[in-house]
Amino acid sequence: MGTHHPTAIIGAGLGGLALALGLARAGREVHVYEQASELGEVGAGISLSPNAVKALRYLGLGDAVSAQADEPPIQITRHFETGEVLVHIDRASTEEKLGAPYLQMHRADLHQLLTKAYLKINPGGITLAAELTDIIEADDTYQLSFNNGEHCSTDLLIGADGLKSTVRRLVFAEDEAEFTGYVAWRGLVPTEEVAELELKAGSSVFVSPGRIFVRYPVRKGKIQNVVAFSKADNWAAEGWSQTGKLSTLQTLFSDFHPEVNTVLAAFKGAEIHKWGLFARQPLKQWIKTHAAVLGDAAHPMLPWFGQGAATALEDAVIMSRCLLEFEDTQKALQHYQDGRLERVTEVHLESHRGGDTLMGQDPYALAKNPLRTEDTLGLTVYDPSTVAL
């Protein structure tokens, strides 16, 4: 029925493209299906902790990422009102300590690097405007149907299709997402628009009970990535595509430090991206015969530890290595799952606790209590390119 692909990946996000690149670099035939009509990522920054950078180096993108990313020398957490520094994290020696640097970059830039690298090896290896609508298991293959009328069969189906994964729903299980009580806002501000602040390199996080404001530079300091979090009683829809009124955000953070309000005043337009944070339990089973899921399709992460993209990249590298090392597909998938479940469950649980840790206490408590971060927990020393399979 239709085209046959030895490996079909659903979703051309960071995780899906990373897996496609990893397999294509080793000569494995692979094809990616993406429901969007054009390739691109949301206009937002992304933090790449050392474990993510190690994954990108395995994929041959280490130099390209370093050339475009910002390497923050410090990360500071400040009192929301006074600006007093509560926590100071030195990032300057991260590579020496953990084997790779801590980087920050524009998410679209990383997506473009992955896309170009994959298509250079496999031109035509992505089909756009192809939303997966049905999956039928037949013998040792899966028959796939898409809303554009296309059909294909595959020996190996990989769901890299995110929070609302169709592969997870049709092949594995669909659990209900629960609203966490937190709402996030995000946007980008040209640094020249806030030149009077003379912002220094590095990340700044302003914390108060129930609210957080984060900003850090991307594109070599030319843009400030902004993310803000607040509490809410309810929220209707899961996803990143919604917007809210900028004036609402400005009112919510009007009592924050002048730096925060100057940055918010620099936004153009009346709306800003806004989304509710929903929690899902990670799947207990990521594989089934000749199908598997990775990234948010398997273990949706909350953003508190900045490990959502990182763990998706880890998944992609580990799955690539398993499929290349073990000739039997089911054995390869079993090694992939066995190698990932324990670690990802730990990261998942810690990421769920993070919001309450940051916003559920007096800011000065952060300065007094032991730090509980991705670094202090040892999560970022992990290297998906060398860990035993």
The per-residue pLDDT for 240 is: 57
Q: What angle do CA 297, 311, 219 make, to 5 degrees?
A: 110
C-alpha–C-alpha distance, residues 62 and 183, integer Å: 33
Q: Is the pLDDT of residue 180 over 60?
A: yes
Domain extent at residue 23: 3-176+280-381
**The total number of structural domains that make up the chain:** 1
Q: How confident is the model at residue 282 (pLDDT cuts 50, 70, 90)?
A: confident
Q: Which pLDDT belongs to residue 275?
A: 86
The yes-or-no verdict on residue 91 having pLDDT over 80 is yes
Mean pLDDT, to the nearest integer, of 164-173?
A: 91
Residue 184 belongs to some domain of the structure = no
Catalytic residue among 58, 118, 142, 216: 216
Q: Is the pTM above the cut of 0.85?
A: yes
Burial class of 300 by CB neighbour count within 10 A (0 to 12, 13 to 18, 19+)? buried
Average pLDDT over residues 374-381: 85
Rounded to 10 degrees, the C-alpha dihedral 381/382/386/388 comes to: 130
For residue 381, the model assigns a pLDDT of: 93
The distance in angstroms from the start CA to the end CA of the chain is: 35
- Cα–Cα distance for residue pair 369/4, rounded to 1 Å: 56
**pLDDT exceeds 70 at position 1:** no
Burial of 110 (0-12, 13-18, 19+ CB in 10 A): buried
Q: What pLDDT does 65 receive?
A: 98
Say what percent of the chain tops pLDDT 90: 70
Q: Would the pLDDT of 357 be above 80?
A: no
Cα(303)–Cα(351) distance, integer angstroms = 7
Give 188-226 pLDDT, tens digit per residue: 999 999 999 998 888 999 999 999 999 999 999 999 999
Residue 236: per-residue pLDDT = 56
DSSP structural state of residue 106: E
Lowest-confidence pick of 53-57, 131-135, 238-242, 252-256: 238-242
The DSSP bridge partners found for residue 173 are none
User: pLDDT-based confidence at 239, cuts 50/70/90?
Assistant: low
**At 344, which helix (H) or strand (E)?**
helix 329-359
Mean pLDDT to the nearest integer, 348-365: 79
What is the spatial distance between Cα 123 and Cα 126, in angstroms, rounded to a whole number? 8
The H or E element containing residue 288 is: strand 287-288
Give the residue-averaged pLDDT of 292-310.
Answer: 91
Q: How many residues does the chain have?
A: 389
Q: Which helix (H) or strand (E) holds 133?
A: strand 132-138
| Confidence at residue 116, expressed as pLDDT on a 0 to 100 scale | 97
- Flag whether 93 is in a domain: yes
d(CA 207, CA 79): 6
* Pairwise pLDDT comparison (243 vs 144), residue with the higher score: 144
Report yes or no on 265 lying in a domain: no
pLDDT in tens, 331-340: 999 999 999 9
Q: Per the domain annotation, does 359 fall within a domain? A: yes
Asked, for residue 211, whether it belongs to a domain, the answer is no
Asked if residue 73 has pLDDT above 60, the reply is yes
Of 45-54, 66-75, 151-160, 348-357, the least confident: 348-357
pLDDT interval class at 138 (50, 70, 90): confident
Asked about 216 being catalytic, the answer comes back as: yes
Across the chain, mean pLDDT equals 91
Residue 226 in domain: no
- When pLDDT is averaged across residues 270-296 and rounded to a whole number, the result is 89
**Whether the predicted pLDDT of 175 surpasses 90:** no
We report the CATH number of the domain holding residue 110 as 3.50.50.60
Across residues 86-106, what is the average pLDDT?
92
Q: How confident is the model at residue 170 (pLDDT cuts 50, 70, 90)?
A: very high
pLDDT given at position 241:
62
In a domain, 334, yes or no: yes
Which helix or strand (DSSP H or E) is residue 19 part of?
Answer: helix 14-25
> Is residue 248 a part of any domain in this protein?
no
